[in-house]
Structure 1
Amino acid sequence: MKIANAQLWVHDQDVALAFYTEKLGMEVRSDVTVPEMGNFRWLAVSPPGQEDVSIVLMAIPGPPMFDEQTRSEIDALMSKGYAGTIFLSTDDCQASYEELRARGVEFVNEPTEQPYGIDSSFRDPSGNHFRLTQVKEFAPT
């Protein structure tokens, strides 16, 4: 067994697609609409060179899957950044931070030295939280 996909709820799949490809530099792995399922859209992206795992950018469904109250609760949690976190690693957190900021990504936290490495964070247009980390190499014990 291995992980194939992780899912994030998004408010608008087209806005999410633009953010993940244009600002984060990710590539589309699949973008399929299924008419037989009410035009359900499966949209998945991942970083270049990492084809074996993708992030599915899933629109929050309404009825019959979720009633309006549940849909609103998911939307509220997501907008606050509490619907989950994706952890991204980089060899140079400061350089990646500068590159992403230049593309228009708004960071919540600038790169900061932590016991485990250098860490920063940002959110996508739907409010999903991301950590961008340069993990420290630890000596074997």
Structure 2
Amino acid sequence: MTRADLKLSSFALTVHDLGEALGFYRDVLGFEVRAAADLGGTRRVSVGPPSRPDVQILLQSPGADPVVSPADRQAIVDLMAKSLLGCLVFVTDDCDATFEHIEAAGAEVMQEPISRPDDVRDCAFLDPSGNMLRFTQPRQVNRAHAAPDPRTP
């Protein structure tokens, strides 16, 4: 048997307030709304970047899954309060411009743009629910911020 070619298509992200989260992902990050569903008292909304119609983030409340017990639901809320539940990593072609845009929108800054030793530039924010969002500028577009190589004459 050969391995299947697997591609990530969706990711469920727990949020405190669906309206607030939707505003952030749509209005600040520029994501489009893909679908919305009312599932017996809980709503879920799928959003995604316009450039990636094959990828979506499912925004849902801590109680969206009916098999989650009340104790587990509270544990989820507690982890969210510590920013320990979710982390998404996005690729950008300009980390600094992305940082300035998101910071100007009022998002909580976790890390200002830095150039890491592996020649990647990145920054980090929290979404309105405390989920960590990292924005990474790949090596091939990071040359403008790189220090000169001392080995190069």
Corresponding residue number in structure 1 for 2:89: 87
Q: What is the number of residues matched between the two proteins?
A: 135
Change (3 A) 1:63 1:32: closer
Question: Scaled by the length of structure 1, what TM-score is found?
Answer: 0.86
Corresponding residue number in structure 1 for 2:150: none
Secondary structure of 1:99's counterpart equals helix
CA distance in 1 between partners of 2:115 and 2:89 (Å): 16
The one-letter code sitting in structure 2 at the alignment partner of 1:70 is D
What stretches of structure 1 of length at least 5 have no aligned partner?
A: none
The one-letter code sitting in structure 1 at the alignment partner of 2:11 is A
Deviation at 1:64, TM superposition (A): 5.0
The one-letter code sitting in structure 2 at the alignment partner of 1:49 is S
Corresponding residue number in structure 2 for 1:73: 75
**After superposition, what is the alpha-carbon deviation per residue over 1:51-106, rounded to whole angstroms, capped at 9, x for unaligned?**
11011001111795222221111111112111121001100100111111122222
The one-letter code sitting in structure 1 at the alignment partner of 2:136 is T
Higher relative contact order (CA 8 A, sep 6+): 1
Report % sequence identity.
39
Corresponding residue number in structure 2 for 1:112: 114
CA distance in 2 between partners of 1:49 and 1:135 (Å): 17
Question: Scaled by the length of structure 2, what TM-score is found?
Answer: 0.80
Normalized per residue, which structure has more strand?
Answer: 1
What stretches of structure 2 of length at least 5 have no aligned partner?
A: 1-5, 143-153
